[in-house]
Structure 1
């Protein structure tokens, strides 16, 4: 996801939701140009810390600083097994 407006953010969170539900297993890469996604990642980390999301959820996305780093992040993204839809935050 490149920096963008509400449509980009909606689609980013939809991709995260689909990954969480096991509907999508591919990588999600945030391009943090000029720190654009830093507040978003802090918010997601807060959701994990407050136990609205499981610790394993932070493996759903990766953060890169430059567009040139996207292909490497895609190649090195950990697999997200379909079975991961069966766990929930407690």
Structure 2
């Protein structure tokens, strides 16, 4: 099998959310990755948006790399038919491996785990631990309130506008993914020794 055209790490919910639009977007993301010869790197779950996205990637001929801690294998019903499924010891190992395998990062709607992973990838970028693009997909206005709060953080002097400029935000999944992949240029690999 030839190397994937790109490797996109996607953070998203292990639940479906309260509107079908979220699952439709997750499916569109997975399909786009597969249709463009890409590789999905994600948390290895079979539930919620995670499972929908992984299924769509596989169905479109893409590679799926799932990375899940042992403690969550049963709880999240690990997706056993990933192209690669890595069962790791803990969340730190999971996130480090996901970051190392990615050319870019994208966050879809999700809960506290998605937020934590998104903010970590963004923080690592602003600290110079990696130079990979970080995107936030604002499907159905899901992240409107967060973006408003982030603007408030800038206005209150706790963040700078250049930090916001590190983040790519969009509502159209295909356009945002194309932007991330182009900006990555297959990306520089993360330097885990600096974390």
Interval containing the TM-score (normalised by the shorter chain): 0.7 to 0.9
1:17 to 79, 104, 123: 123
If the length of structure 2 is used for normalisation, what is the TM-score? 0.37
Match of residue 54, structure 1, among 137, 146, 160: 160
Q: How does 1:25-64 map to 2 (within 5 A)?
A: 25-64=131-170
Could you list the runs of 4 or more consecutive aligned residues of structure 1 that deviate by over 6 angstroms after TM superposition? none
Q: Which whole-Å CA distance do the structure 1 matches of 2:131 and 2:152 have between them?
A: 23
Q: What is the CA distance between 1:24 and its match in structure 2?
A: 1.8
Q: 2:98 corresponds to which residue?
A: none
Residue 29 of structure 1: SS of its match in structure 2?
strand
1:62: how far off?
1.2
Q: Distance in 2 between matches of 1:30 and 1:69?
A: 12
**Higher Cα Rg: structure 1 or 2?**
2
Equivalent residue pairs, number: 77
Residue matched to 2:176 = 70
Q: Distance in 2 between matches of 1:32 and 1:16?
A: 16
Structure 1: 5+ residue stretches without partners: 78-90
Greater helix content: 1
**Rounded Cα–Cα distance in structure 2 between residues aligned with 1:27 and 1:38:** 20
| Distance in 2, Cα, partners of 1:42 & 1:20 | 20
TM-superposed CA distance for 1:40, in Å, is: 1.1
Root mean square deviation of aligned Cα: 1.5
Which structure carries more relative contact order (alpha carbon 8 Å, separation 6+)? 1
More strand by share: 2
**1:57 Cα deviation (Å)?**
0.9
The match for 1:3 among 99, 102, 109 is 109
